[in-house]
Chains A and B, each alone.
Chain A
């Protein structure tokens, strides 16, 4: 058991790669190749389930860590580890993979072997991104995802696949260079590529010239991740890549690759540069909100279904970025949850689109109409997934959206209000699209005789539908491990020595209780409440809980104004700001 616990991450990462290598020596018998790829992806899924099974929820740090010196000069370590944030992203990746293999069963008929080799290599790279704790390793895996994905688009894609593949490759490649520069700067100053070491060095103030450089470092990482997310206005590679990619490519692109961007923002931008993150949050949030609304509006008017769904990703990922930069516990929790949701819902949407593409070889909305009559099962699955994407309560999308929005609202009301218009837009574009594809009578004779989903297709959809439901009804299964990690990550945002500041008094008539809103001076409203003991005539001890559920107490002067109500004395601030723990 110990051996497994110590090496489980390595096993999960390299199982697919090992499969890919074995596959190279396989004879070109397509059927066997498919079964082998399915088997490997299923074994990887099983192996990855070890992680949530044995994950220690109470521990907010990295678990299953493996730290082996790899290259002594430069100082590179083979350092892997996962926490509550990356845990589920790994499982999401291994969960989507077998479904992608199933989906590609018939969709890919040429160069089948090469296709599955690329997919398995891609899986290794994606998992590596989420597990790597050494920057060199991280950057290696990060770039390694590009090659198989660009090849999958360029070789197995549709019409303008070369344009899309090159656009995808260059867009993300060029942006990554900035991250590489930032990584090298950090290495030059700290002599280490290790994430944890660097983080500690920064927090300890041991990095020379950090104050001047931090904004550039922040931006270097940010550009790489923002393109990947993609954040407005660097999102235009996404629709092209999606439209031309084969279905499995789209599923992984939307389901996992985009999350690498948001994961990076949360882990590195926020984790390493909290001050810069806070300082730059307003414009980043602005871009996120523009993305939410803009992505939805552009999605609404797309004549191509796949392009439509691609733009919805811009909108949904905007929610994730918004949640991350709200710096509230509920908002960041929601952002992490929304990453998983988006992987499930949008992954499923792309699978569904692929199924109809297999039959009609077009994504043109105008070609469809009335599909509910020949394909009722398909229509039902589509409706269910659509509803999860719309954010219907008891399905997964709602949980993430609700948490992100309430976090954003706590950070700043306007953020929450603007972003919440997204709930209207998402209903508009999806319901309208659904109506045009499925309702009415069949007008195009080519659609009249379409066969409904076969058993293999249903098998590939059921897990996603069930996941959407379970994630909506029992989100605690996931939040139990996400919440503590996020709480710890946010810790550095609130200086523990900061006293509780009072704002916007809501006085009461109760003699021993003062209704006050407690707001941390870093502008985040936290859970209120307060009991006051009439220690002196005017001084009360007000206690409040901050976001880590720590009690903080502070002496506050209160005065009785006409009407017998108690108000905090204006601009009060006890000189010492004593904090009683």
Chain B
């Protein structure tokens, strides 16, 4: 099918715009950037239609192009692996990516470095597509690192601001910590299986029994992959970069830090299901990390005042749900949520961007309010997104999130389920808090604001009252709103009269290699009515969250401040994000810098080694100086030395003779 065209299209766009874009008129930059993405999306749709016609035994469809590197018996190739899973990812990435490119036309219209922005964005598309389409782990790692690079460049897009440059660097380095784990996992794979190609790996792995008792090599691999995934997908303990990443332009936050790149960890876990299925311990670790992250991030999200920060923590929390799903071996549910999340979270971010755009770069929700009058389209889109994410039926995330929670319960992890439901309630609270604060009440910002606090400072002259955005920005919003509304209908579970087509579509990926895990065996006998009951519980939790938010931020708007004051210590602790950044700085960063400076550099390098070397040199110099003095030209001193020498020789000979 010539699948290589798909990633190479955006790469070509990036190369052309990056090298020559500076001299191009804006329209040409647009055409290249948008055209390459649109073509990739169109081609992906054509591929999907071809894929539908493939017989089951020709899936996965693998294309091999060339050997990338080979050393001894090891080799890795450039090749593409297309199965149901990568097809879903392909469509999500190109589809959402295309919409966000369109939106960016409007959003970035007044920015300097316009060509640079689109070059980076296309570069991101290339690496993301490489990541999802690769047919081996090494090539996946190329995409994996590459999206990190694109993210670094785009977070630091406004590099004149120190906070933006800092955030980019933090993202890259934190991800590198995760990549370290991923790399070790790859080395273990090479060491034990001699290959990183998916198809041969799955065959080899399938000969291994489930490591249910003692943890073995597969468990180690699984856990190390999880380390990698926590970096890329911002899970505990490596989530700290994602909130800071909001320094980037908002469309970037939508595309990279919400819809696509951060889900790479979920994709990686799902892709590695043959490995994870054989290691219950690693799978459990995935579930626990996911669940803890879901509630932890949600709790921080409840008190943030920056609209993008709320959404960032929300993203972390939702990614936690996806991990939870994968962790109970419900990969299909995790990927389902990944897809709906891509729709609604992109929509949330783009709507937030449209608000920020409309009120001159302000991001503080305390300075918003009453915006539904000024930005009606944005308001309605945001409303759809909000109701989706909190999980009200029949919107998309209701089906996907509910599926995860249900499968968690059904797998016997009742405590995880409970935490998940509580986190769902918290999700509802922070989302409706955001909704009420921005769109209801009176507008609290300055109408003739020329000062720009926020990150996305635009330099429009005519910024008076808040205004709706141009159509290029509204249309993607509307399309995403539609997807957020109906996107979940492909996965309506049997208990609600649907047939869960989405997960059945993915089944071949996850079941062909699956073993009968004890947890899955327990899942079977639950009845549809129980499933409905659990859906009702989730919706109830969401409703409670809604009611609290409504009471505090609509009805009694004076209350939140008083509550915050009465819970002063706890409130500031959460507001300061539990001071995890400070903890990492104190435990890791500062000691390492101090150690490097005073012990390694000044202590060992300059103090010990160099002083030794210079001392040796000085010693040699002094010794030679002494020698020089012996050659005084004075006959008597020479005679004296001869006598001393003779005495020494005689003494030596005597000593030797005695022995």
Contacts and interface: CB of A to CB of B under 8 A. Distances in A.
A119 to B, nearest CB: 28
Interface string A251-279: 00000000000000000000000000000
Contacts of A398: 145
Contacts of B142: 393-394
Interface residues of A, number: 72
B160 A441 contact: yes
Contact of A428 (B68, B149, B173, B204): B173
Secondary structure class of chain B's binding surface, majority of residues: helix
A302 B601 contact: yes
A336 to B, nearest CB: 10
A107 to B, nearest CB: 27
A387 B149 contact: yes
- Give 4 closest A-B pairs by Cβ, nearest first: A329-B72, A439-B165, A409-B187, A393-B142
Interface in B571-596: 592-593, 595-596
Contacts of A439: 156, 159-160, 162, 165
Nearest to B177: A424
17 contacts: A300-B592, A329-B72, A370-B160, A373-B160, A393-B141, A413-B191, A420-B187, A423-B180, A428-B173, A439-B159, A439-B162, A476-B67, A483-B70, A506-B217, A527-B74, A528-B193, A529-B194
Interface string B390-402: 0000000000000
Interface in B136-165: 138, 141-142, 145-146, 149, 152, 156, 159-162, 165
Contact of B169 (A237, A431, A549): A431
A297 B592 contact: yes
Nearest to A487: B72
Given A167-B613, A330-B71, A409-B187, A298 B601 contact: yes
Interface of B: 67-74, 138, 141-142, 145-146, 149, 152, 156, 159-162, 165-166, 169, 172-173, 176-177, 179-180, 183-184, 186-188, 190-194, 204, 207-209, 217, 592-593, 595-597, 600-601, 604-605, 609-610, 613, 617
A297 B160 contact: no
B600 A440 contact: no
Contact of A334 (B71, B595, B600): B71
A438 B160 CA distance: 9
Interface of A: 167, 170-171, 233-234, 236-237, 294, 297-298, 300-302, 328-330, 333-334, 370, 372-373, 387, 392-394, 398-399, 402-403, 405-406, 409-410, 413, 416-417, 420-421, 423-424, 427-428, 431-432, 435, 438-441, 473, 475-476, 479, 483, 487, 506-510, 513, 515, 517, 525-529, 545, 547, 549, 565
Given A413-B191, A427-B172, A475-B68, 16 more contacts: A234-B609, A236-B613, A298-B600, A302-B601, A370-B160, A405-B183, A409-B184, A421-B180, A423-B176, A424-B176, A435-B166, A439-B165, A506-B192, A507-B209, A508-B207, A527-B194
A394 B179 CA distance: 16
Contacts of A410: 187, 190-191
A487 B145 CA distance: 30
A416 B68 CA distance: 22
Contact of B68 (A301, A370, A476): A476
A420 B182 CA distance: 11
A483 to B, nearest CB: 6
Contacts of B74: 330, 406, 527
A233 B173 contact: no
Nearest to B156: A439
B184 A372 contact: no
Contacts of A547: 72-73
Nearest to B620: A170
Nearest to B153: A383
A420 B190 CA distance: 15
